[in-house]
Chains A and B, each alone.
Chain A
Amino acid sequence: MAVSDPTVERDAALFAPIERTGWGFYLTVGVLGLAVLWGAAAYWTQFDQGLGVTGLHQPVSWGFYVTNFVFFIGISHAGTLISAILRLSKAEWRRPITRMAEVITVMVLFIGAGQILVDLGRPDRLLNVIRYGRYQSPLLWDATSISAYLTASTFYLYLPLIPDLAILRDRLGKRRFLYAVLAMGWTGTERQHKILNRAIATMAVLVIPIAVSVHTVVSFVFSMTIQPGWHSTIFGPYFVVGAIFSGIAAIIVAMAIIRRIYHFEAYLKPIHFRYLGQLLLVMTLLWFYFTFAEYLTAYYGNEPEEMKIFWAKFTGRFWPIFWAMLVLNVVVPIACLVRLRHHAIGKTVVASVAVVIGMWLERLNIIVPTLSNPRLPFPEGQYWPTWVEWGETAGSLGLFILLYVLFVKLFPIISIWEIKEGREVGLKEVEERLRTYLPDETEPEPARDRAKVLT
């Protein structure tokens, strides 16, 4: 890509968030900063006085923190997994949405992994894991797979960003050093395109099994125990499905907000929401299928320890969480998504917000009822989070959104070069590909002129 290419001007709107800073940006940063401060104050109180200031105790030793951990790691599947699948399947409509999905992944992985540190109470003890960690423990499998996912996702976000960084380096007067360093000497030669395209393709293939392994291993933290409600062979795929489900919902919410604030109506069209909405509907049904299978098996087995938890969720003290989860994850999405011909954006956004909240409740619903009804002869436990857990949760969410806002301020949230590539090469490729689907047509030559057109 010629970095001074005048055709880039066609997408000048994509530079607006970086070039102009309005009062809305400062207001948003201020409000999010307050949430982060609340979280920091909550964490300092806990660090200073110990976990006793939280609602965590025996037997309910995991509450909001582990719920947040599973939730955030789940949301992280939004990005890289969805983006990689769409990229590998050559779904052309992916172009404006892949980066905003990849950014979600990297940001929430940091926040999600941080929840474990918060839950430790004594964060200095993390050093013991580094020095004497034992691979017999699923917790260490988690640490390893999350490290791999974080590394892969960061590079998977960074690599397609390089040509855009070169555009910023040559176009903007400010932050030139930052963009020049990160652009890695990109000049858009054919050789550089070849290197980058090969690396992006390799990462797209690599990141899918890593992402699947991450949430499978997160589920192992629960299913490898013999706790009722957790000891299940379908927990791995159940968690992966739930992660992709909440991830798609998170992308849709992010897309709608960015579209509205930065006026990207020309890039994020109703058709993008419709396609993602259809994907969300499929995941709704898949998630319901797994949930149904999980609870039906427990009910049919009729084991006393399992049934205590089953009824605690259905009609006992956890019924509001359980039924709210079902309504938000199944009833609302199905009602909104079955017909998307009209008001596609509004309907998908309502369904997605419901799913994001519903999936957080699902994580809480997995963790707390089981710990409240222990298999061992402990009395039943109660869990009421204190302001410390609420503060830490608000702070984590605020930090995630703040990091996202800062990313949008510094880098193009829609890939400029991929949009350009879509116009110049994608259209031709799609036509050629369509021809091969039809009878009496031969396979086309690979698009050899891809780099030439972009250079």
Chain B
Amino acid sequence: MSDERSAFDRKVRAAQWGVAALAVVFIGGIVTWIAHLIRTAWRLGDVPSASIGISLVAIPVFLVLLGVIVSVFWGLLRDGGNR
């Protein structure tokens, strides 16, 4: 019974870290995409100032979101580890 319980807990734990990783990859992907657009604009000389100007606002917003999410997941998962 306790083996079954610990197997269930292990699966839950793995899935929780999976959800946390997915969130990080999703937001990280958006930041990478914006960075790619700046690089493309820069490479083509296609008014890179516009891309950089907008990214100066957009990227920090996503990074703050990422920070909040990581701190919540990390804090809760570490604290609830004994459950």
Real binding pair: yes
Q: Which residues of A contact B (CB under 8 A)?
A: 130-136, 140-141, 144-145, 147-148, 151-152, 155, 159, 162, 177, 180-182, 184-187, 189, 191-192, 195-196, 199, 202-203, 206, 210
User: Measured between alpha carbons, how far is A199 from B72 in the docked complex, in Å?
Assistant: 7
Binary CB contact string for chain B from 46 to 83 against chain A (1 if under 8 A, 0 otherwise): 11001101110010011011001101110111011101
B68 touches A203 (CB 8 A): yes
Contact (A189, B65) CB under 8 Å given A133-B37, A181-B12: no
B68 touches A202 (CB 8 A): yes
B34 touches A195 (CB 8 A): no
Q: List 14 A-B contacts (CB under 8 A).
A: A130-B33, A131-B40, A134-B37, A134-B47, A134-B50, A135-B37, A135-B55, A136-B47, A147-B30, A148-B65, A199-B72, A206-B61, A206-B68, A210-B61
Contact of B75 (CB < 8 Å), options: A144, A182, A187, A191: A191
- Say how far B24's CB is from chain A's closest CB, in angstroms: 12
- Say how far A106's CB is from chain B's closest CB, in angstroms: 14
A206 touches B12 (CB 8 A): no
A186 touches B76 (CB 8 A): yes
A192 touches B79 (CB 8 A): yes
Contact of A135 (CB < 8 Å), options: B50, B61, B64, B80: B50
Contact (A136, B83) CB under 8 Å given A186-B76, A202-B68: no
B80 touches A151 (CB 8 A): no
Residues of chain A contacted by B69 (CB below 8 angstroms): 155
- Say how far B47's CB is from chain A's closest CB, in angstroms: 6
Residues of chain B contacted by A177 (CB below 8 angstroms): 8, 11-12, 15
User: Measured between alpha carbons, how far is A181 from B47 in the docked complex, in Å?
Assistant: 46
- Determine if B19 is an interface residue (Cβ-Cβ < 8 Å): yes
Residues of chain B contacted by A155 (CB below 8 angstroms): 23, 65, 68-69
A135-B50, A181-B15, A192-B76 given; 20 more Cβ-contact pairs under 8 Å: A134-B50, A136-B46, A140-B37, A145-B58, A148-B58, A151-B65, A155-B68, A180-B8, A181-B12, A182-B19, A185-B81, A186-B80, A187-B80, A192-B79, A195-B71, A195-B75, A195-B79, A199-B68, A206-B64, A206-B65
User: Measured between alpha carbons, how far is A133 from B61 in the docked complex, in Å?
Assistant: 20
Decide if the interface of chain B is mainly helix, strand, loop or mixed: helix
Contact (A180, B75) CB under 8 Å given A136-B47, A155-B65: no
User: Measured between alpha carbons, how far is A180 from B76 in the docked complex, in Å?
Assistant: 13
Of all chain A residues, the one with the shortest Cβ separation from B20 is: A184
Residue with the greatest number of chain A CB neighbours at <10 A, chosen from B30, B40, B53, B61: B61
A185 touches B54 (CB 8 A): no
A180 touches B12 (CB 8 A): yes
B81 touches A199 (CB 8 A): no
Residues of chain A contacted by B15 (CB below 8 angstroms): 177, 181
User: Measured between alpha carbons, how far is A223 from B76 in the docked complex, in Å?
Assistant: 45
A184 touches B37 (CB 8 A): no
Residues of chain B contacted by A184 (CB below 8 angstroms): 16, 19, 72-73, 76-77, 80
- Say how far B66's CB is from chain A's closest CB, in angstroms: 9
